[in-house]
Structure 1
Amino acid sequence: MPQPVVVVSEFMAEAAVARLAQSRQTFYDPTLVDRPADLQALLGTAEALVVRNRTQVTSDLLAAAPALRVVGRLGVGLDNIDLAACEARGVAVRPARGANADAVAEYVISAALQLLRGRAFFATEDLRAGGWPRAACQGREMAGRSLGLLGFGDIARRTARRAQALGMTVVAHDPLVETAEGVDLVSLDALLERADVLSLHVPLTETTQGLFDAAALGRMKPDAVLINTARGGIVDEAALAAALKAGHLGGAALDVFAKEPLDETSAAVFRDVPNLILTPHIAGVTEESNERVSEMIADSVLEELA
């Protein structure tokens, strides 16, 4: 096989892969992310590398790719890419900004709806066993409640519009935003105290690492719902599990984790935790968003290689 010019190490829409292959010699294997030695071996002649969030684009990986000109990111988070090392080598980094924003916003709303209804969506096994726990399944309505948004970028704004259409009021905390029509901008403490549903929309940085520890969770309403589609590491997973077990929170949905995929140790933290939804970093991935993200990155890569 000829040496590839484009290497795609995680899943990408087939039509977008085919477009890349029509223009440049392309190697596509969505399991390549789990074989780092094979990935490095393929990068000797590669001018483009396409990744999602699991491929770690480190200085060592870049050193194995002397011809690399662009890294296409099938998504928006860049914490798996050493941006300084890319800049030093003259490697462009092209994320798919906005292409999966609607998918994430819909995930947040759907998770909030489920968690506010309490045990209603967790009662399947009780019913299969012959139970009929109607009283225990009584939940709460979304209308009239407060959605808190930590960070008020594109995804948060789309989430806010959907929540407002369902009758929620919206409060947000973002030091970089001065005004937001129809949204009350508040301090972080006020956000924690006021939100019935709190959704995270910030990157993982030194400032946000472990931000939602036991103390922060303790400042939230005891029946509040926490949703994290941002990045693992922002929420102290053990502290969250303890709060849910103790009944100090009404529920939580986590789509991102400090370690992905979960291993035996990290998965054990969530065992027997009530009112908890866990999903495998999929909030931004739908059939439609995968097509949009993939086409956007194929365009970006081909533009850089032109």
Structure 2
Amino acid sequence: MRKVVISEFMDEAAIAAELAGFETLYDPTLVDRPDALRAALAGASGLIVRNRTQVRAGLLAAASDLRVVGRLGVGLDNIDLAACAARGIAVHPATGANDGAVAEYVIGTALLLLRGAYGASAQVAAGAWPRNALMGREIAGKRLGLVGFGAIARQTARRAAALDMTVAAFDPHLAPDDAAWRPAHGAVASLTLDALVATSDVLSLHVPLTEATRDMIGPAAIARMRPGAILINAARGGVVDEAAVAAALRSGHLGGAALDVFAQEPVDAAGGAALIDVPNLILTPHIAGVTRESNVRVSAVTARAVRRSLEG
């Protein structure tokens, strides 16, 4: 009987339904117990991970029978793709299964940060009435800038257009005549990165972490952003210089920011100290793509891909 190890949280109903007939070891604590994970992989044909399990040479060396890695999500920077290819190990991300969840996170967060009215519960309950201080901004008429214009960014653009935002994007991998720039909900302007950064009211990142994208939104790029602009990173940690974001919020140059991903996850003590008590900063634990609904979809898609790979 083929064995599948699952090292991070997953929908248990999907495991039961889609991996029936396999020996499954589901233990979401394995991601934090690397020795136990390596031991569990002895004799395993399949491994299912999220973003925290590092599928590198050391882990692969302990998994001599491994044939497939399923990724509960789309980013693959935690998986050594070259090493997997050299071993003939298939890698299957859950492409498309959580696109809508991330898009909703971006739009919802932009609304929250622009309006700025939702942190006054204690004051109102105590009898204060800070109406003037909470006079925020509308999202209609603002420009949403998307760094990267793949599937998630396109879902975000569709939702933004429904709220009467204008949308622009930077994506060097899309040809100027690609149909993606002319969706049914209205054309998306194709800009250079510098122009996009300088003209967006809300700048949202949708790129993988590569050497080309590492720290692409650093002090210089942030300085070029419009005063009062909103920055949202629900893509990959390391794309944004977190300390520079905090400094720009403290100075008042940025109007708000949301970081769902970090260079170090979980955030370490040094990184966290720089982000404490920063005004208009939202921090979430890599949760933009994880909802109850998307977890079911992602789990089912990944489990099916692992089954197909092992039965093929």
Same fold, judged at TM 0.5 (above): yes
Partner of 2:252: 247
Gaps of 5+ in 2: none
* Aligned match for 1:279, one of 273, 284, 287: 284
Deviation per residue, 1:256-301 (Å, 9 max, x gap) = 0011111222111111100011111000011110010000011000
Secondary structure at the counterpart of residue 134 of structure 2: coil
Partner of 1:260: 265
Mapped contact 1:20–1:26 kept (Cα < 8 A): no
Secondary structure at the counterpart of residue 262 of structure 1: coil
Letter of the 2:34 counterpart? P
* Aligned match for 1:208, one of 208, 213, 220: 213
Mapped contact 1:4–1:42 kept (Cα < 8 A): no
Deviation per residue, 1:177-219 (Å, 9 max, x gap) = 1240110001111101110000000000101111111110000
Mapped contact 1:4–1:27 kept (Cα < 8 A): no
What RMSD, in angstroms, separates the aligned Cα atoms of the two structures?
1.2
Secondary structure at the counterpart of residue 231 of structure 2: strand
Aligned counterparts of 1:198 and 1:21: Cα–Cα separation in 2: 40
Aligned counterparts of 1:146 and 1:102: Cα–Cα separation in 2: 20
Partner of 1:146: 143
Cα drift, residue 226 of structure 1: 0.4
TM-score normalised according to structure 1 size: 0.97
Cα drift, residue 124 of structure 1: 2.8
Secondary structure at the counterpart of residue 20 of structure 2: helix
Gaps of 5+ in 1: none
Aligned counterparts of 1:271 and 1:128: Cα–Cα separation in 2: 25
Letter of the 1:30 counterpart? P
Cα drift, residue 132 of structure 1: 2.0
TM-score normalised according to structure 2 size: 0.95
Secondary structure at the counterpart of residue 62 of structure 1: helix
Identical columns (%) = 64
Aligned counterparts of 1:200 and 1:126: Cα–Cα separation in 2: 34
Aligned counterparts of 2:18 and 2:3: Cα–Cα separation in 1: 10
Deviation per residue, 1:24-54 (Å, 9 max, x gap) = 1010011110100000001110000000000
Deviation per residue, 1:133-153 (Å, 9 max, x gap) = 111111110111100000000
Partner of 2:242: 237
When the two structures are aligned, how many residues end up with a matched partner?
A: 303
Partner of 1:40: 38
Aligned counterparts of 1:134 and 1:267: Cα–Cα separation in 2: 32
Letter of the 1:10 counterpart? E
* Aligned match for 1:269, one of 267, 274, 278: 274
Aligned counterparts of 1:147 and 1:125: Cα–Cα separation in 2: 32
Aligned counterparts of 1:217 and 1:91: Cα–Cα separation in 2: 40
Cα drift, residue 20 of structure 1: 4.8
Cα drift, residue 4 of structure 1: 7.0
Closer/same/farther in 2, CA of residues 293 and 195 from structure 1, 3 Å limit: same
Partner of 1:29: 27
Partner of 2:155: 158
